Amino acid sequence: MKELLDVSWGNFISLVFIFARVGIIFAMVPFFNAEVVPRRITATIAFFLSLVLMPVVPPVQVRMDDLNVLSLLFILLHEVLIGLCLGLAVDVIFAGIQIAGELIGFQMGFSIANVMDPMTGANVPIISNMLYITAFLLFFSLGGHHLLIRALVESFQIIPIGDSLVHRGFLMSVITYAGDMFVIGVKVAAPIIGVLFLINIAFAVIARALPQMNVFLMAFPLTISVGLIFLILVIELMPTMMESSIQKSWVFMRASMALF
């Protein structure tokens, strides 16, 4: 009877650590961190996924007799940091898409018309919301969720529960990768920003040559029209961009776990 209780206690501790790593990922990835999704639903899905992962997770590298409050908190922090790393790999992509939408909306004059984003609960430009939903659908259609679950399973093989401390190389890789959200945003918005910049220069020259012409009334509809035309081009190119970003996030997840 005592052996049975010891096994149950050990399994329960393992489940708590697994749930800490899985739960923080679900708290960061798109859709599950949305305001419209109840937190209890997200927690329930993360809990059942943790139960599924229990048979394939290596046993805890800490003896049950050595566990105390301090070591328990340390291992939980260890699992939370790994979960943050995996969740960040996906969240950076969508943060970059939102930055691109804000840049495009500002250049097109749509920044004054904001809508409530159901995913984040914040007021964002219309273009940003549209690009975010498009990227979200492309993420699932390209199998990004499969790569995330695969990385989660492999993380327990590469970094067992309570196995090591955080190294400086891991932190530097996370900080470097987090800066890619601005790179993604500029890459997506670059075609539209470049074209609209040339249009603004052209209207500035016209306004200088013909001061009596009301350039503002002419520039506003033309800017919106040209911006929407090139926005269609950007959306057509988004599958290629999303595929490369997902592959880059997969490379980051494997490389960062090796540095942990």
Pull the structure tokens for residue 130.
Answer: 């549209």
Average pLDDT for the chain: 80
pLDDT at 117: 58
Q: How far apart are CA 159 and CA 107, in angstroms?
A: 45
pLDDT at 119: 57
Count other Cβ atoms within 10 Å, centred on residue 118: 13
Residues pairing with 123 in the sheet: 116
pLDDT surpasses 50 at 224: yes
Mean pLDDT calculated for residue range 109-115:
66
Higher pLDDT, 160 or 236: 236
* pLDDT-above-70 percentage for the chain: 84
Q: Residue 213 region, left (φ>0) first, then alpha (ψ -120 to 50), else beta?
A: beta
Q: How far is CA 190 from the centre of its chain?
A: 21
Classify burial at 10, counting beta carbons within 10 Å of its beta carbon; exposed 0-12, middle 13-18, buried 19 or more: middle
216 pLDDT band, cuts 50/70/90, is confident
84 pLDDT band, cuts 50/70/90, is confident
Mean pLDDT calculated for residue range 198-226:
81
Pull the structure tokens for residue 198.
Answer: 């040339």
Higher pLDDT, 210 or 94: 94
pLDDT at 252: 87
- The DSSP output letter for 66 is G
pLDDT surpasses 50 at 3: no
- Asked whether the beta carbons of 57 and 79 are under 8 A apart, the reply is no
- Asked whether the beta carbons of 253 and 151 are under 8 A apart, the reply is yes
pLDDT at 70: 74
Q: Write out pLDDT tens, residues 178-197.
A: 888 888 999 899 989 989 88
Q: How far apart are CA 240 and CA 237, in angstroms?
A: 6
- Asked whether the beta carbons of 207 and 215 are under 8 A apart, the reply is yes
Give me the domain span that covers residue 93: 2-259
What's the pTM?
Answer: 0.82
For 124, the enclosing helix (H) or strand (E) is strand 123-125
pLDDT surpasses 60 at 1: no
pLDDT at 165: 65
- The DSSP output letter for 210 is -
115 pLDDT band, cuts 50/70/90, is low
Q: Write out pLDDT tens, residues 116-174.
A: 555 555 666 778 888 888 998 899 888 888 888 888 888 888 887 766 666 777 778 88
pLDDT at 156: 84
Q: How far apart are CA 13 and CA 9, in angstroms?
A: 6
Report the length, in residues, of the chain. Answer: 260
Mean pLDDT calculated for residue range 56-82:
74
Q: How far apart are CA 76 and CA 189, in angstroms?
A: 39
61 pLDDT band, cuts 50/70/90, is low
pLDDT surpasses 80 at 6: no
Our count of domains for the chain comes to 1
pLDDT surpasses 50 at 50: yes
- Asked whether the beta carbons of 131 and 97 are under 8 A apart, the reply is yes
Q: Rounded to 5 degrees, what are φ and ψ at 71?
A: -65, -35
Q: How far apart are CA 54 and CA 58, in angstroms?
A: 8
Q: Which residues contact 19 (CB under 8 A, 6 or more apart)?
A: 46, 47, 50
pLDDT surpasses 50 at 41: yes
By C-alpha distance, which of 16, 20, 44 is closest to 32? 44
- Asked whether the beta carbons of 170 and 259 are under 8 A apart, the reply is yes
